[in-house]
Amino acid sequence: MALVELTWDGDIAVVTNNRPEKLNATSDQFNRELWECFYGVHSRPSVRAVVWRAEGKAFSAGRDLAQLGGKRDDDMSHLQHIERGHNWTQMLLTCPAPIIVAIKGWAIGGMFERALLADLRVGGHSARFFLPEAGLGAVVDSGGIARLFQIAGHGVASDMALTGRIMEADEAYAHGILARLVDDEAVDDTAFEMAHKIAAAPAFTVKMIRRDIATIANQLVHESMEHEAILQAQNYVSDDYREMKAAKAEGREPVYRGR
């Protein structure tokens, strides 16, 4: 069974996270399938809109913690692995049609950040947003922190990234992280209604509107991702990261030295 599926509703692409038994937590295989799906979207010239949704109770519980910071299945260095992931992630910015993300339940870590790079987000009242990276000894590194900064401001971005506090759906809607807030049962239907509305507009007009918004917004995201890759790679080989892992394994309090 595919972990991520690409189907079509006419010229509307439907990308579905399909690992519900793990709350759609991402693994290396999940990520490969996700980007294969978005490559498939890029390869279809007639695509007019994308609905990115999920099976089960959560959009995504974020990275499978069993793989976080560990040996990669392809034996890449940390920097190579992160930069490869960033190259794939930028397909969200270069997608030939608007991406509408339908979110119920958790959107955590990198998958929350990826959702932030989409054009629009529709959330149900169960939606919860969380950046747990600092507590796991990791840097927020999927480009979404720049978009969160743009949407909600310095204070909100810093609060979520540094303290790991959870943002609920009402607040996310108030900040503009969610374009629309609806009952959970209406999330997918609302996303598809928006996609069909976009698909009914002149295709060239939609492209020009998105190009205008991208000109305003995406340079910061690109610059942020380049910097984040270096920061995360350095972080994974830091003394403090090794100390965090050792203290956890030994059942003791860590002693951090800021290096």
- How far lies 32's CA from each of 93, 96, 100, 138, in Å? 17, 20, 20, 21
What is the C-alpha to C-alpha distance for residues 195 and 100, in angstroms, rounded to an integer?
A: 7
In the predicted structure, residue 70 carries a pLDDT above the cut 60? no
Average pLDDT value for the chain: 95
In the predicted structure, residue 167 carries a pLDDT above the cut 60? yes
Token digits for 24?
Answer: 């759609």
In the predicted structure, residue 69 carries a pLDDT above the cut 60? no
**Residue 142 has what DSSP assignment?**
S
- Cα angle, residue 200 at apex, residues 179 and 16 outer, rounded to 5°: 55
pLDDT of 175: 98
Tell me if 31 sits within 8 A of 68, measured CB to CB: no
Domains of the chain: 4-185 (3.90.226.10)
Rounded to two decimals, the pTM is 0.94
Average pLDDT over residues 109-122: 98
Token digits for 93?
Answer: 């910015």
In the predicted structure, residue 72 carries a pLDDT above the cut 70? no
pLDDT of 114: 98
pLDDT of 74: 67
pLDDT of 131: 98
